[in-house]
Structure 1
Amino acid sequence: MSSTSDASTVPQKKSRVEFDPSDIIADPGLQKPIEEYDIGIRDQVRREYLLMGPCQPVGHNFPRKQQGKDLRSFKEVWFQKFDWLEYSVEKDAAYCFYCYLFKQSRGDKLGIDAFTKTGFSNWKKAMEVFTEHVGGVNSNHNNARRHCEDFKNQRQSVSHIFSSHNREMEIAYRARVTAAFYVLLDFLHLRGLTFYVDMMNLLVPQIGKELVRACAEETTRVIIDEIGDSHFSILLDESHDKSIKEQMAVIVRFVNKQGQVIERFLAVEHVADTSASSLKTALDGLFARYGLSISRLRGQGYDGASCCGRRTLDCLFDYSASQVESKIALVVVSVAKGILAISDFFSYVTMIVNIVGASCKRRDVLLQKQHDKIVEKLEKGEIFSGRGKHQETNLARPGDTRWGTHYTTLIRLFTMWESVLEVLENVCNDGNVAEQRVIASGLIQRMESFEFIFILHLMIKVLGLTNDLSNALQQKDQNIVNAMGLIVTVKELMQDLRENGWGIFLEEVKSFCVAMSVSVPNMEDSISVRGCSRRGGQLVTYYHHYHAEIFIAVIDLLTTEMNNRFSETSTELLRCIACLDPRNSFSRFDHGMLVRLAQIYSDDFSTSDHLILKEQLRIYIHDVRRNSDFSNCHDLTSLAVKMVQFDKHLTFPLVYRLIELALILPVATTTVERAFSAMNIIKTDLRNKIGDEWLNNMMVCYIEREMFAKIDEDIILQCFQNMQNRRIQLPPRSN
């Protein structure tokens, strides 16, 4: 009894609170009060916010609201006058950076609550209140500023004064840190990031992480400076990593000062799910963290994000330019899967690919059988040889976030039909695993059904119609004129297939079934409605099932989706942009259409701009047509570069603005694909516990390594130094 009592009175050791980087939120209106952080990590939180700096979204379209008799808003010029000033996009309110981090508890409350918790938003009296908040020498604000300066000035600490007596220690420390930096640079460029990650984990993980973070932060800072106040679009892709976390890669697309279209990797963000609300929350936080204004955003491109998320985000971000979606091939599959029979078909296709490609032995058998089939047909004269024909191939695995893979998978399944069936027969007869033998038997039965063959032909048909359009829109420097023509063509061909293509299509399917000894049902016979029990008595004819429930239903769904993605407004936008095409001496130039383009981008052209643009376009087209320097321009990118090269962007600023807006239209490119390739290199099965922040930092360094290599080492080392209160501090190196 007494021992129990004594044990209960023993004080329990308080567990240490770990710092969580996700607690650092750029928007001051969403930040947790500094006093709510555990005292053990409070200084680290302050250091993180000091590294980030005050939230000052330059270029943001500050909302106007009624205050008194006038409409008023926050003024960007206030950032220049008050360096401590922060602005919350979420709350449309102003805050004090110094008072948030080091607020004083005595005196008046003006600098404590209004500028740290509730936010200040009375713009009519802003200058007066801001000045009053700063106050005199001993005001709360100035005391907080001095605390902040003392906190940053670690060179005045006792530990540093002690160590600074030994100059040799400082030199040796600089040499060690510099060497670590060059090791990082060496592995990024020569040996690859994988070995570097393993080495840092083995030796000095904390130092390694901080050094990578310093490199990433300075690289990102250069990217943000490169964007400046330009308009930009974002390209998004989502995929899960090796630890099955949903990650969202963010690429920014903009036109630089030389007129070149630039795409930069900005970050990879962990998201709880891929719903529109989650993606929007992640983007809001990202924009606030890097000081990017959402009002400068002029488009969004999605590369594999969920269809629901895409459509909802388009509604959440209401901008003048309609979005140009480019993942048409995946859209076809995604929309068609809304029909049960189509969804069922793709499930079986995935199983077939997985079973046939489960081992090297099976893949080799498939290749050999296909080779034998080709040789046999060549000997019979059924096919002919030639350069590039009948190359060795294999089944492709369809990817949910990779364009063209579904089309490729179905084409190869079609061409290797007999060989695939023979491999499945081998698995069924000779397989060692009973479960795989059962699955292979079921897949053979499914492949030799009329419905499977019917849907295979239908999906090859519709994917083939949209494949060229998908490829055209995926090019980084896509030809808008060509894309515009393809959009119209695809819509017309889809409608023609619906109205006139059924008879020819059905005969193609029947011919294939006869050749492969697959029974063809009588179209007048009845079957149960899919999803209903036979006891219910709901019957339809085979003709109705295949023609109405599959053939017509698929085409109608895709036509509706095409009309939604390329609506009248979107189509008009592309037609207008096509008028900027410089080829053939600007033969497509249309004055009225380009004036209309400026009206579509209403936020970027004022009423006076519209009047000026009308005359500027006339002068512009006359000037560039007679100027031989522009005769070799073959697309909008080369036109923009030439205009900057010869200062025409200053002579015709409104025309150049139209070209710039056209160039940043979001398209799906390989940039987002490279981001996830890098993630797969960094975060493998053996290193699947890498934290989100470290993963992001390494990806920035790896993907943007050319830009990273140009940053002066002293800048990176100084950033590294500022992350911790280190025993030895490096002074900035003198020139």
Structure 2
Amino acid sequence: MERLIDIVHVEDTSASSLKEAIFNLLAQQSLSPSSVRGQCYDGASNMQGEINGLKMLIRRESKLAHSIHCFAHQLQLTLVGVSKKCVEVGKLVVLISNIFNVLGSSMALDMGELTTGRGLNQQLGLSRACDTRWGSPSKAMGHLEACQTFEIAFMLHLMRDVLVITNELNKCLQKKEQDIANAMLLVEVAKRRLQVLRDDEWDSLIAKVSTFCIKHDVLIPNFEEPYVSSLRSRRKLANYTILHHYRVEVFCNIIDWQLQELNDRFDEVTTDLLHGIACLNPINSFSSFDIRKVMRMAELYPDDFDESNMSILENQLASYIVDVRDIDERFSDLNGLCDLSKRLVQTKKHSNYPLVFRLVKLALLLPVATASNDMRSQMSDDFFSGCLVPYLEKDVFDKISNDVIIKTFQDMKPRRIQL
């Protein structure tokens, strides 16, 4: 638990192969898989799968290897999950994407903000000029016709309401310096507002959609008529009304699925871990400290905190917070858990409060920072491979001086300034 290995390079990216590579690397470092206490991966199914995903394969070997996924990406995946379950949401996403590609790219080209061509760095999925010029009018007319329906008007208003509810949470999760406690509170806020939307705001939503449709000459259906799906023959009428379709199968289901996604992706274990980390954070003179939440975090690591240790930990926490918050001024200027762990060692308080220090180390093992979308999209496979080579061959690279590296890089091509 004292050491952290976080880089593994394998050609086969199946979950089982990744697990084997990780365990081989742990063995090379004389580390036991049972000592793994944290893991974090992207949202790929081979990583996050609840049955055979990498995180679950690791958990089978070490039940205490809790997984925390990138917060902002988690929220994005809730919408992805809903769009996969609801045909109407999926259709709306595709339609908006198509409209953006046709109209947005054409406007950007006309304004000179984008260029066309081929290559890896093309934006917005633009076609070349000839394709855009001849294909856009017919595509635009088709998309315009698709937009002039009650279904699209209803979906736009509904999804706007859903996304507005999660907007504050989304902005909070995108911050570089995350306030974990507030982020988790905003998850609960979003859940409660979604429930209120489901229980109390159907009538106001229909009123808004109807007003919009009247203003823009969009036909409003008779809600008492049988619903006819566009995916089935018009001769085969559904055994429920148009009202039932929109209120139950679309409105209620979308909100229920969104709530389910939030519950699954921000589950109780993750919430307890994150609240515990937030309470250990020394920022603002330990203002977030809550002994009950820290103890709940410790309960998730029974191999590290058995029954006797839990009572000792509680006593240590009570003394520790009085010491570092109210008495020892050397702890008044800390900016995070890293600073806290260093200061505990520098002041030798890690030996006074060994179980508290163990919790701090566990908190440092759990990666909770997010990578921005821009950063993820700019990191190509070549970039990652280039980063991995110096790590894997560090014995060789340790013998190469910085001056040699700078000169080689400078000689690769002409540059505006001398490195």
Q: TM-score range by the shorter chain?
A: 0.7 to 0.9
For residue 439 of structure 1, report the CA deviation from its aligned partner.
2.7
Classify the secondary structure of the residue corresponding to 1:494: helix
| 1:467 to 1:650, Cα distance in 2 relative to 1, 3 A | farther
From 342, 346, 357, the counterpart of 2:89? 342
| 1:679 to 1:572, Cα distance in 2 relative to 1, 3 A | closer
From 27, 31, 34, the counterpart of 1:295? 34
**2:407 equivalent in structure 1:** none
1:666 aligns with 2:407: no
Distance 1:666 1:570 in 2: 12
Q: Deviations over 1:243-265 (max 9, x none)?
A: xxxxxxxxx3xxxxxxxxxxxxx
Structure 2 residue runs of 5 or longer lacking an equivalent are 115-123, 405-419
Higher share of residues assigned helix? 2
1:713 aligns with 2:414: no
1:572 aligns with 2:272: yes
From 284, 290, 297, the counterpart of 2:20? 284
Please give the residue correspondences for 1:196-275 in structure 2 after superposition, counting only pairs within 5 Å.
229-230=2-3, 252=6, 266-267=7-8, 269-271=10-12
Distance 2:249 2:47 in 1: 23
**1:699 equivalent in structure 2:** 387
Distance 1:653 1:575 in 2: 21
For residue 634 of structure 1, report the CA deviation from its aligned partner.
4.7
Q: Is the 8 A contact 1:678 1:699 kept in 2?
A: no
Classify the secondary structure of the residue corresponding to 1:536: coil
AA in 1 matched with 2:142 = G
Q: Is the 8 A contact 1:630 1:642 kept in 2?
A: yes
For residue 658 of structure 1, report the CA deviation from its aligned partner.
1.0
Q: Is the 8 A contact 2:99 2:143 kept in 1?
A: yes
For residue 568 of structure 1, report the CA deviation from its aligned partner.
3.2
Q: Is the 8 A contact 1:477 1:637 kept in 2?
A: no
For residue 444 of structure 1, report the CA deviation from its aligned partner.
1.0
**1:543 equivalent in structure 2:** 243
**1:362 equivalent in structure 2:** 107
| 1:582 to 1:544, Cα distance in 2 relative to 1, 3 A | same
AA in 2 matched with 1:362 = M
Structure 1 residue runs of 5 or longer lacking an equivalent are 1-58, 60-228, 233-251, 253-265, 273-277, 369-392, 395-408, 410-426, 683-694, 718-735
Please give the residue correspondences for 1:612-651 in structure 2 after superposition, counting only pairs within 5 Å.
612-625=312-325, 626-651=327-352
| 1:661 to 1:353, Cα distance in 2 relative to 1, 3 A | same
| 1:528 to 1:297, Cα distance in 2 relative to 1, 3 A | same
Q: Is the 8 A contact 2:191 2:259 kept in 1?
A: yes
**1:602 equivalent in structure 2:** 302
Structure with bigger RCO (C-alpha 8 Å, 6+ apart): 1
Classify the secondary structure of the residue corresponding to 1:598: helix
| 1:488 to 1:441, Cα distance in 2 relative to 1, 3 A | same
Distance 1:696 1:574 in 2: 29
**1:406 equivalent in structure 2:** none
**1:725 equivalent in structure 2:** none
TM-score by length of 1: 0.45
**1:3 equivalent in structure 2:** none
For residue 553 of structure 1, report the CA deviation from its aligned partner.
0.6
AA in 2 matched with 1:442 = G
For residue 678 of structure 1, report the CA deviation from its aligned partner.
3.5
| 1:570 to 1:431, Cα distance in 2 relative to 1, 3 A | closer
| 1:496 to 1:310, Cα distance in 2 relative to 1, 3 A | same
What RMSD, in angstroms, separates the aligned Cα atoms of the two structures? Answer: 3.7
**1:83 equivalent in structure 2:** none
1:351 aligns with 2:87: no
For residue 364 of structure 1, report the CA deviation from its aligned partner.
4.6
For residue 611 of structure 1, report the CA deviation from its aligned partner.
4.2
From 315, 328, 342, the counterpart of 2:56? 315
AA in 1 matched with 2:3 = S
